[in-house]
Amino acid sequence: MVKAFLNLILVTLIWGSTFPIHKIVLTDAYTFPYLFVRFFIACILSFIIWRKQSFKYGAVLGIVLGIAHALQTYGINFTDASKSGFITSLYIPLTPIISYLIEKEKPNIIQWLCFPLALVGSYMLFGGILGFNYGDFLTLLGAVLFALHIVLITKFSKIVKETSLLAYQFLIASIINFSMSFNSNWYLPSSIWLTAFYTSIFATIIVNFIQVKYQKVIGSNSTVLIFIGEPIFASLFSFMFLGERFSFIQIIGASIMILVIIMTSFSNKIDKFLRQKLKQKSISI
């Protein structure tokens, strides 16, 4: 359980690092060619590393992943990198809803408390609804699909071998972004190629491998609360590389989300303890 938790925290760190990088090197003219290259490289490497692949489940994941990344990465051209990270984090309160509809996974007591806290923290972090713009809207649509992707990974990794979910997922995602790229600029500078190699290996292959391996260990609801670390790391890296700063309200929001991560790491133990206490109390009565 601890190993799963630490690996999923690593996922959020890698994801967080991509927001300022995308903001620095991408424009809307390069978005879809970049995503095509990123996922195509990941596809080729995954086929080489893991030969046996599931087309059926991988393709479903690829459709969701490809469209989600297209919305998020295109949307970041019209908003701040840190703000994009926070809006993306709205998949946190969305995931338990989708998880219950698909997997019938019910949150425990602590998770029920953490989801609204995460929503409040996200709201404070991205500055409220008044600053909402076109890029934020696209990012929000992407957040819905990211929530669906998390639940489907947990579900499918219980059905087939984890590593068989990767290559076709990336292939379909690359095809989707290629289909959107005909009005784009295909003369990609070296900075975008370097970014594509970084994100294809770390933010695509390694991240998705960790997800398919460890999400089923702790479930979709605990996983998504751990993923609160993504906007926190996104903000940290945006501050370091872009000079984007937090307001006082955003600092409070970040603190709330850090608290949620800590509570999530002990949610099963706390839930078990509370249930035992309630049971003992009912018996004594």
pLDDT at 236: 80
CA 221/CA 114 separation, integer angstroms: 10
Angle of the 267-284 helix axis to the 248-265 helix axis, nearest 10: 70
pLDDT at 142: 93
CA 31/CA 248 separation, integer angstroms: 33
Rounded to two decimals, what is the model's pTM? Answer: 0.78
What pLDDT, in 10s, does the model give residues 182-217? Answer: 888 899 999 999 999 999 999 999 999 998 899 888
- Contacts with 280 (C-beta within 8 Å, 6 or more apart), sequence order: none
What pLDDT, in 10s, does the model give residues 121-142? Answer: 877 776 665 666 788 889 889 9
Highest mean pLDDT among 5-14, 191-200, 269-278 belongs to: 191-200
What pLDDT, in 10s, does the model give residues 41-95? Answer: 999 999 999 989 999 999 999 999 999 988 988 888 887 766 776 777 778 777 8
Task: List the alpha helices (DSSP H) in 26-127.
Answer: 31-49, 55-75, 81-88, 91-103, 109-125
CA 251/CA 94 separation, integer angstroms: 23
Residue of 118 and 18 predicted with greater confidence: 18
Give the mean pLDDT of the chain. 84
DSSP assignment of 220-233: HHHHHHHTTHHHHH
pLDDT at 285: 57
Percent of the chain with pLDDT over 90: 35
- Contacts with 159 (C-beta within 8 Å, 6 or more apart), sequence order: 57
What pLDDT, in 10s, does the model give residues 233-258? Answer: 877 887 787 777 777 887 888 788 77
The full set of domain ranges for the chain reads: 2-275
